[in-house]
Amino acid sequence: MKQRALWSAVLVAALALAGCGSAADSGSSSGGSAGKLVVWDWKSGDASAASYIEKAKADFAKRHPGVTVEFVAQPFEQYYTLLGAAIQSGKGPDVMLFNGGGQIRDRVDALLPLDQYVDEDKQRLAGWDAFTKDGKVYAAPVTLQGHPIYYNKALYQRAGLNPDRPATSWSEFVANCAAITKATGAKCFAQGNKEGIGIQFFMSGLGSGILSPREYDDWVAGKRDWNSPGVKRIFALWKEVNDKGLNNDGANSTAMFNDAFAVFQSSKAAHVIGLMSDIGHWKDFAEFLEAGNVGVMTSPVVNAGTTPSLPYDGGIGYAVAKWTKDPKVAAELVRSLTSAEALKAFHADAGAIASDTTIDVSSAGPAVATIVSEIKDGKPALHVALSSKTVDLMGRLSQQLLSGSITVDKAVEQLAATDQAG
Amino acid sequence: MRPGTGRRAERLAPYVLVAPAVLIIVVLRLWPLLLGVNFSFTGDGALNGTAVGLDNYRDLLDDPLFRTALRNVGLLVLLLPVAVAIPGLLATFIYLRVPGHRLFRSVYFFPAVLSPVIVGAIFNLLLAYDGPLNAVLGGAGIGPVDWLGNPNVAIFAVVGVHVWATFGMALVVFLAGFATLDAALVDAARVDGASLRQTIWHVIVPGLSRTIQFVFVTTMIGLLTSMFGLLYIMTSGGPEGSTYLPEYYIWIQQGQMNRPALASAASTALFVIMLVVGLLQIGLLRRAGRED
């Protein structure tokens, strides 16, 4: 009797555990054979990416008519979970889409270095750094992702400010915000830190106005001094902005995607540090505020001796798995996916800043023109250089900073420890 | 056909009939479980595939997030009586035919048919800092509460929503239990002049002891295994990591941090917890069974 109870307990628990722990089966769509390439991404299912995929496929078919390409669109929320399972089993897609930065750098063990295949594209495309680890390129950039500071020109006008001359220094910026709040009731920043993403955007959006160019470059190169006055200033400013009421209320319970953007779109805040591609960007904002009212500015100078620049990186890019049968053909597919024709279609339909900077963007409005003009002098974003573990911790610490349950010194101490360990 | 063959076939028949079920459980449940436990003793990243002993478990215990997740499991267990009392009380009122009890019966059950994603999205709007609930509180002169942004409040908000979304099922079970309750006892209590509290405490609760135990067990399982959807939508484990539960931790480590072996270790730990809880519950049910 006791025995039976024990066994049934084991079974009950096993069933419960297996139910919540198991990953979805990905067997049917993985593992390309010779003559077939399987691509995983989270884009190809979108209607807005249809023409992009079509153009890339056509380009590839011209060069390799005998090879069929199968695109498998995975849900983005599950993407890295599914990919992790595929990598673990050593079987999976031949070509796969990655976000730049930590997501791809943590997984380069499973990827093929592409340097010898993509050499010709290096000049034409921007954003390679986000897909590079230890000097080797692992994916070719499709879009650029970055963090321009968007502002609402209509609110500037209502406050009697010149909408074409945004502030260049922090004190001027805060004064402008005060004027806007007084005249219109709108807050200075639309801020959403529920997911811990607000701090990433803040750090990268304002970082070039806080860190000296030298410290900035060192940070990106991996030489990070978390205890420097500049780095502490980033976190102190993060707290100060919130404490002084420049953010919308309840930043810790406002989701960046998309509640914070909604605050900006509904003119309840004058500025938002947004994105360049896909979402939370010029195209979304223009739908609500009209393209002419969406301004883009670089960071105001917070610390003297800094030269603000646009923070951007390769956004998404296609990589080749180590286990693919014919690496050369797979790399060719990656090249087709980043061909000028395909990227032009992606820019036009999906509202992304494509990695190919030679594409004509003049029809997309003034904000895009400003962004593209700043790409030349832009630098990689600060948070993209961090490992996903550090970014995750930073998200939680940033919430603690806003709620006042940790000091800046203690926060950077923890971040330094994690950054060095990782 | 010789008589021997028939007897043997008869002897083997039960095994053959049970085999599919056993095979499914062994091949698709127990075997992967063992693989998972085995996997939890290997490393991640550069150490992929090499044995690292108990390192992952040490990492787990060192990780304040995992400790928070375990603490939250403890909190759920403590909140269990509340989660059972709410449907119990409401079912009692319906049984005692408060005005409009028919309407309440269907209204109470309604949330149980909604998916956690929809429930989460609804409450994200309701509980937003500038949302309707805070507007109502503000109207009553009570300062706004950051329901999902305050680490001391958020877990209670999520559990509260979970209870709201799932108590309909328990309510139905309670109502079924009431159907077996001897109405003469309640009438007798009324005739004797018992107050509502006395009726509930001395007549209804003892009469429903088996139902209450059953609801305890199912609510417990629900709390421990099906909060993921709500957590994912409502707080993503935040703020400050205060609403982590083991399931969510496992998902983050596997999917976002690319540490599948550590996730396996966390899964094994969750398995052990579920095993203990499962054994306790089976003991409880058996004892309840003997009482009859």
Quote the domain boundaries for residue A327: 27-144+313-354
Q: How confident is the model at residue B106 (pLDDT cuts 50, 70, 90)?
A: confident
**Which residue of B lies nearest to A249 if distances are taken between CA atoms?**
B129
Instruction: Enumerate the β-bridge partners of residue A69.
Output: A37
A106 and A42 within one domain: yes
> Which residues in chain B are closer than 8 Å to A78, comparing Cβ atoms?
255
User: Is there a contact between B258 and A107 if contact means CB atoms under 8 Å apart?
Assistant: yes
Q: What is the pLDDT of residues B124-183, one digit of tens each?
A: 999 998 899 999 999 998 888 999 999 999 999 999 999 999 999 999 999 999 998 888
> Which residues in chain B are closer than 8 Å to A27, comparing Cβ atoms?
none
Average pLDDT over residues B193-199: 88
- Give me the total of CB pairs closer than 8 Å, taking one residue from chain A and one from chain B: 136
Check if B26 contacts A (Cβ < 8 Å): no
ipTM score of the complex? 0.81
| pLDDT of res. A3 | 54
Check if B85 contacts A (Cβ < 8 Å): no
| pLDDT of res. A21 | 38
Q: How far is CA A243 from the centre of its chain?
A: 27
Q: What is the pLDDT of residues A371-410, one digit of tens each?
A: 988 998 999 999 988 888 899 999 999 999 999 999 999 9
| pLDDT of res. B112 | 87
DSSP label at A254? S
| pLDDT of res. A29 | 43
**Separation in Å, CA of B53 to nearest CA in chain A:** 19
Q: How far is CA B96 from the centre of its chain?
A: 28
| pLDDT of res. A7 | 54
| pLDDT of res. A115 | 94
How far is A300 from A262, CA to CA, in rounded Å? 24
How far is A107 from A138, CA to CA, in rounded Å? 10
Q: Is the pLDDT higher at B282 or at A382?
A: A382
Is the domain B74-242 a CATH 1.10.3720.10 member? yes
- Kindly state the tokens that stand for B26: 């062994």
Q: Is residue A152 part of a domain?
A: yes
A248 and A168 within one domain: yes
Helix H or strand E encompassing B230: helix B228-234
Q: Tokens 């149980």 — which residue? A: B112
A232 and A289 within one domain: yes
Q: How many CB atoms lie within 10 A of CB B236?
A: 20
- The answer to whether A312 and A144 have CB atoms below 8 angstroms apart is yes
Which residues, in sequence order, are CB contacts of A31 under 8 Å at separation 6+?
A38, A91, A92, A93
DSSP label at A124? T
| pLDDT of res. A19 | 40
B148, B251, B271 member nearest A253 (Cβ): B148
What are the domain boundaries of chain B? 74-242
Q: How far is CA A132 from CA A118, A276, A319, A354, B286, in A?
A: 13, 21, 11, 18, 60
Average pLDDT over residues B99-123: 90
Lowest mean pLDDT among A153-157, A304-308, B237-241, B255-259: B255-259
Coil vs helix vs strand at B128: coil
**Mutant choice from A4, A10, A17, A389 vs B, greatest count of B C-beta within 10 A:** A17
A136 and A35 within one domain: yes
Check if B63 contacts A (Cβ < 8 Å): no
A241 and A199 within one domain: yes
Q: Is residue A13 part of a domain?
A: no
A247 and A329 within one domain: no
| String of DSSP letters for B142-158 | PPP--TTT-TTTHHHHH
A126 and A105 within one domain: yes
Buried b / exposed e over A227-263, threshold 16 CB at 10 Å, is: ebebbbbbbbbbbebbeeebbbbbbbbbbbeebbbbb
How far is B117 from B228, CA to CA, in rounded Å? 10
Mean pLDDT of residues grouped by 10 in chain A (422 residues)? 51 44 40 78 90 94 93 90 88 92 87 94 90 93 94 96 95 96 96 94 96 95 94 97 95 91 96 92 92 94 95 94 93 94 90 88 86 91 89 94 94 94 70
Number of domains in chain A: 2
> Which residues in chain A are closer than 8 Å to B239, comparing Cβ atoms?
194, 252-253, 396, 399, 403
A153 and A31 within one domain: no
- Kindly state the tokens that stand for A305: 């001796």
Q: Is residue A270 part of a domain?
A: yes
Whether residue B268 has pLDDT greater than 60: yes
The values of phi and psi at residue A316, to 5°, are -125, 155
Q: How confident is the model at residue B289 (pLDDT cuts 50, 70, 90)?
A: low
| pLDDT of res. A62 | 93
Which residues, in sequence order, are CB contacts of B108 under 8 Å at separation 6+?
B87, B90, B94, B167, B168, B171
- Kindly state the tokens that stand for B61: 């215990």
| String of DSSP letters for B32-87 | HHHHHHHHTTBB-GGGBTSB-TTHHHHHHHH-HHHHHHHHHHHHHHHHHHHHHHHH
CATH number at residue A291: 3.40.190.10
A126 and A114 within one domain: yes
| pLDDT of res. A12 | 46
> Which residues in chain B are closer than 8 Å to A89, comparing Cβ atoms?
none
**Separation in Å, CA of B104 to nearest CA in chain A:** 32
A285 and A226 within one domain: yes
How far is A116 from A105, CA to CA, in rounded Å? 19
Average pLDDT over residues B17-23: 94
The values of phi and psi at residue B2, to 5°, are -75, 150
A63 and A106 within one domain: yes
Q: What is the pLDDT of residues A174-194, one digit of tens each?
A: 999 999 999 999 999 999 999
Q: Is residue A73 part of a domain?
A: yes
A273 and A395 within one domain: yes
- The answer to whether B71 and B63 have CB atoms below 8 angstroms apart is no
Q: How many CB atoms lie within 10 A of CB B20?
A: 9
| pLDDT of res. A136 | 94
